[in-house]
Each structure stands twice: as C-alpha cells, then as structure tokens.
C-alpha cells in the first residue's frame, strides 16, 4: 500500500542542499577565475548557511543552450542553431545589490570562498555587474563598496551543474571546458584544466594572422593561465608556426605557452587510422602535469577537436550521451555549418569504439586507445590521476525527471540515519509528495523528515545528489 502524507507549502523552507569545495585564483580581472588547487589541501563548506533562496541558483547557459541541454539529444532547439553564427558564448551571471544613494562608482570583490580569500575586484559605474565565464556547480561570494564609502554585506550565489561549461574568449569560437562532469564511478572531472577551442589564427600556409584579440589573449594567459597549445591542424594551415620547432615560442599566445602541432587528417574516409600517431602524441602531453592548463583545437574546434574530446571524456568516465551533447554543442559556434550524430567524421570513431570490447563505455574507450591506437596505458592512468578527484554524495537518487508541471524537488533526511538524504518530485500544487514512489528509498516513510526544497526549473543533470570534493 502506498504511504502518502500531506505537506503544507507554507511550512516549506526554501533551502538548497549542496556540498562543495571552492578554490580559485586572484589573477582574474572580470571573468570567473581559473582553479589553483593547493597540493594536499581540500576544504569543504556547506552552502546551507548561505544559499537560502532558489533565486541564488544561477545558470551560465542561454535559454537556447539550456533547451538543447535538457531536450532530446537528437534535436537542436531551433533552426537558428545551425553552426553559422556565434551563439556559443555563455550567459553572464548578473550580480545585483541594493541601491546605494549618492554612489557613482562601485568596487565589487568576488571570491569562491566565504572568507574572500583569493578574491579579485572589478569596478563598474552601473548598480550591477555581469560576471562571465563562471565555473559550473560552484558557489561565489561577492560584496560591494561604493565610492561614497558605503559597503554591502556579503552575498552569495551558486551556479547550476548543467554541462558543458562553455566559455567566451574574444576572437575565437566554440570554446568549452572539458571539466565539470560527474563520472559513473563518483569522480569529478576537474575544471580549468583542459579546454577545447576553435583556431586562434587564420588558416594559412605562409603567414600567421591572429584572430584571437588582445582581450582574448589576456583571458587565456592571465585568467586561465594556459601553458600548452595543441594544434591539430595540418602543416599547410598553421603557416610559419610550423618552422619554429616543437615546444618553442611559436604559439600565437606568446613565449610562455608551449606549442605542439599534432597534425590530424580531416578526411572522413581516412579519419581514424591516419590520425593514430597524433593521438598518441596528444595523450603523451596529457600525461605530463607540466602541460596544464592546456587547450587543443583544429580549425573550427569541431571534428578533429571533437574526436580528441570524445576520447578524453570517455576514458575519464564521462557518459556517452554527455559526450554526444558536447559534440553537438558545436552547432552553437560559428563553424561554417551544422553537425549531427550521423556526420560521417563523428560516426567513424563512435562506431569503432562501440564495436571495441569492454564491459562499460569507459572500458571500450580505453581498449580502443590502447589496443587499436597504441596509447600507453600508463599515460591513461596518469591522465586520470591529474584530471579526476573524488566526489562525496549524499545517499539517494531521484529516479525520474521533472515534467513541466512539477515545481520542485523535496529533500528528505532519514531520521534514523541522518547521513542519508532522499529527494522527491514536488507536484505543481505543492501540496503532496510520495517519497516511496519518487525516490530510491526502502523503509518506513514516517522515518523521513522533510528539510527543504530545490526549486525548478533545473537541469536534468542536477537530479542526482550534488557532489562535493572529499574533505
């Protein structure tokens, strides 16, 4: 028999229960910062003390991007998303504060720590600030000081967990972070470590003409702190960069960035075998901690770049559907035309991996890399060591996605075992919910205590207990 119980909506406390670790750097001058994780240091904060309203949960994606992320994988949100215009940039998070009488300029201090360590500042004459390139599943604190001396209290928001994390780098298209994903074995792929992009300079056999702007270079060098560029284009496209020697100052970004031309064919008829030597070179660079943070690209950052991204994500344990969505997300960039899951350059390696032996998708990708391409297993293990960190979950998983008529996730704590948490879908009426039907809970419903709600709409990727780094 079903056990149902009545919950008054008036008694609900709007509360988001998420656990996380915040790390950051102070190099940033207006964008969300790159991570610098101190060796051996992992600190946990509980944002229940700070996040008290669903309005504090922010998305970094535009409406069209969210429609794609949450929609059927086989469809794009509209005919306008066709790879022919620049729509790949993330949405900014608007930082608001109460009106300050007599103020004409504001200094905003921003941090990923509640104590404002590793903070950075921006100035604005507007009574708000648009923060770009935020990380996903990350809490940020900010406070404001006006030029008349008035200061606000600290404020906080948290970004949603929807992937991929797309980025805005001036002068290039189709840029994303390969991090932020949660793997099947409860690991988190680190952010601010590996980026995929479109080209930084025009394709040419004789000259180097930068397309990335000075602002874009500053973002790559100072905000992200990149150390290595992996160029997948053929020699005829990289211009005189190819004459300067491997690992020297031939990157468009300057002398501080090591440049490697791991040239790959883009003809679908020879898409795999012809590229195996370059794939082995890429994974050798990925196994070197000194390479990070790094980025890789071809011309438009879609086909050859997509191949490498699929291999990296797959061997790290990212699920296949997420990697398919990452590939299709390139349609938001200005890539010269649309891509689909039936594009020949995509299906060749997807089919090859699917036909490789392995009990899981990750095992198939690893076996494809090791047995077919010849990547050293030690390089794969080193990549995992560099890129994966443990995630700690509260017990319990939502077993069905919300519909358009459902308004929230109700959070319950098991009173006999407070370490276990369960979620149930809250109907549109906000009146009753059945945790026995909606959550993975076996036991007496009377043992569950409702402790809050997470408001919708949220990404379907958020329907699992939000992970945090291990303490």
Q: Give the end of a domain, one of 159, 192, 227.
A: 159
Contact 422, 437 (CB under 8 A): no
324 within a domain of the structure (yes/no): yes
Rounded Cα distance, 158 and 134, in Å: 10
Give the structural domain span for 432: 5-15+407-469
Residues 27 and 115 in one domain: yes
Q: Is residue 216 part of a domain?
A: yes
Number of H helices, E strands in the chain: 10, 23
307 belongs to a structural domain: yes
- Give the per-residue pLDDT at 438: 38
Tens of pLDDT, residue by residue over 413-462, are 555 554 454 555 444 433 333 433 333 444 555 555 555 444 433 333 33
Percent of the chain with pLDDT over 70: 68
Tell me, what's the pLDDT at 137? 78
CA–CA dist 141, 156 (Å, integer): 4
* Overall number of domains in the chain: 3
If asked whether residues 35 and 133 sit together in one domain, one would say yes
Query: Residue 464 and residue 162: Cα distance in Å, rounded?
Result: 12
Identify the residue with better confidence: 272 or 315: 315
Residues 154 and 279 in one domain: no
Residue owning tokens 């921003």: 110
- Pair (127, 66) in one structural domain: yes
Residue 133 lies in a domain: yes
Whether residues 189 and 219 fall in one domain: yes
> Looking at the structure, do residues 220 and 326 belong to the same domain, yes or no?
yes
Residue 398 lies inside a defined structural domain of this protein:
no
Domain identity same for 203 and 312 = yes
In a domain, 70, yes or no: yes
Instruction: Write the DSSP assignment of 101-169 as a string of letters.
Output: TT---EEEEEESSTT-TT-EEEEESSSEEEEBSPPSS-EEEEEEEETTS-BPPPEEEEE---S-EEE--
For 393, counting Cβ atoms within 10 Å of its Cβ (0-12 exposed, 13-18 middle, 19+ buried), the class is middle
β-bridge pairing 106-111 and 120-124:
antiparallel
Beta carbons within 10 angstroms of residue 445's beta carbon: 14
Residue 401 within a domain:
no
Q: Do 137 and 263 lie in a common domain?
A: no
Q: Which CATH number do you get for residue 141?
A: 2.60.40.10
Q: Give domain status of residue 448, yes or no.
A: yes
The predicted model scores a pTM of 0.77
pLDDT digits (tens, 9 = 90+) for 8-47: 222 222 223 333 333 233 344 456 554 332 222 222 334 4
pLDDT grade for 204, boundaries at 50, 70 and 90: confident
pLDDT band at 55 (very low <50, low <70, confident <90, very high): low
* Mean pLDDT, range 174-187, rounded to an integer: 89
Residues with Cβ < 8 Å from 28, sequence gap 6 or more? 34, 120, 222, 223
Higher pLDDT, 177 or 155: 177
pLDDT tens by residue, 106-125: 999 999 888 898 999 999 99
Same domain, 173 and 271: yes
Tell which residue, 350, 268, 277, has the closest CA to residue 260: 277
pLDDT at 158: 78
What local confidence, expressed as pLDDT, does residue 209 receive?
A: 85
Shared domain check, 444 and 353: no
pLDDT in tens, 224-260: 999 999 999 988 888 665 554 454 447 899 989 999 9
For 84, counting Cβ atoms within 10 Å of its Cβ (0-12 exposed, 13-18 middle, 19+ buried), the class is middle
Q: Are residues 117 and 195 in the same domain?
A: no
Last residue within a domain, chosen from 159, 190, 214: 159
Integer-rounded Cα radius of gyration of the chain: 23
Q: Are 424 and 410 in contact (CB under 8 A)?
A: yes
Mean pLDDT of 312-335: 96
Q: Which of 392, 425, 449 is the last residue of a domain?
A: 392
Q: Same domain for 423 and 352?
A: no
305: left (phi over 0), alpha (psi -120 to 50) or beta: alpha
Query: Are 390 and 319 within 8 A, CB to CB?
Result: no
């Amino acid at each position: 028999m079903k056990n149902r119980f009545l919950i008054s909506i008036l008694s609900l406390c709007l509360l988001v229960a998420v656990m996380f670790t915040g790390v950051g750097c102070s190099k940033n001058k207006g964008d969300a910062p790159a991570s610098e994780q101190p060796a051996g240091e992992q600190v946990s904060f509980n944002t229940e003390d700070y996040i008290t309203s669903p309005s504090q949960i922010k998305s970094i994606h535009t409406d069209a991007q969210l429609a794609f992320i949450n929609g059927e994988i086989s469809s794009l949100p509209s005919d306008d998303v066709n790879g022919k215009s620049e729509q790949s940039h993330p949405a900014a998070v608007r930082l608001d504060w109460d009106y300050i009488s007599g103020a004409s300029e504001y200094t905003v201090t921003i941090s990923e720590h509640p104590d404002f360590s590793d903070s950075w500042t921006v100035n604005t004459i507007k009574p708000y600030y648009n923060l770009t390139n935020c990380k996903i599943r990350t809490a940020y604190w900010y406070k404001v000081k006006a030029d008349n001396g008035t200061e606000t209290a600290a404020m906080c928001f948290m970004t949603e967990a929807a992937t991929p994390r797309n980025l805005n780098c001036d002068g290039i298209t189709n840029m994303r972070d390969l991090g932020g994903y949660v793997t099947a074995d409860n690991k988190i792929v680190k952010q601010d470590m590996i980026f995929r992009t479109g080209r930084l300079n025009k394709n040419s056999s004789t000259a180097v003409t930068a397309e990335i702007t000075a602002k874009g270079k500053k973002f790559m060098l100072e905000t992200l702190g990149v150390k290595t560029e992996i160029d997948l284009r053929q020699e005829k496209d990289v211009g005189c960069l190819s004459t300067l020697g491997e690992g020297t100052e031939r990157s468009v970004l300057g002398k501080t960035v090591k440049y490697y031309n791991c040239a790959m064919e883009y003809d679908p008829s020879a898409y795999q075998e012809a590229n195996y030597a370059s794939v082995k070179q890429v994974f050798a660079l990925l196994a070197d901690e000194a390479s990070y943070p790094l980025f890789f690209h071809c011309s438009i950052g879609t086909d050859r770049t997509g191949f490498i991204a699929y291999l990296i994500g797959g061997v790290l344990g990212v699920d296949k559907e997420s990697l398919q969505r990452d590939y299709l997300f390139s349609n938001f960039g200005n890539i010269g035309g649309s891509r689909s899951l039936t594009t020949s350059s995509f299906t060749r390696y997807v089919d090859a991996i699917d036909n490789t032996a392995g009990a899981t998708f990750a095992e198939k990708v690893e076996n494809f890399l090791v047995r077919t391409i010849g990547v050293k297993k030690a390089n794969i293990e080193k990549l995992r060591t560099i890129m994966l960190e443990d995630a700690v979950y509260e017990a319990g998983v939502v077993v069905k996605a919300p519909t358009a008529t459902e308004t929230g996730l109700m959070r319950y704590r098991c009173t006999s075992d407070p370490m276990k948490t369960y979620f149930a879908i809250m109907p549109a009426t906000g009146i009753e919910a059945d945790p026995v039907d909606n959550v993975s809970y076996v036991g007496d419903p009377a043992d569950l205590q409702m402790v809050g709600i997470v408001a919708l709409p949220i990404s379907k990727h958020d329907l699992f207990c939000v992970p945090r780094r291990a303490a």
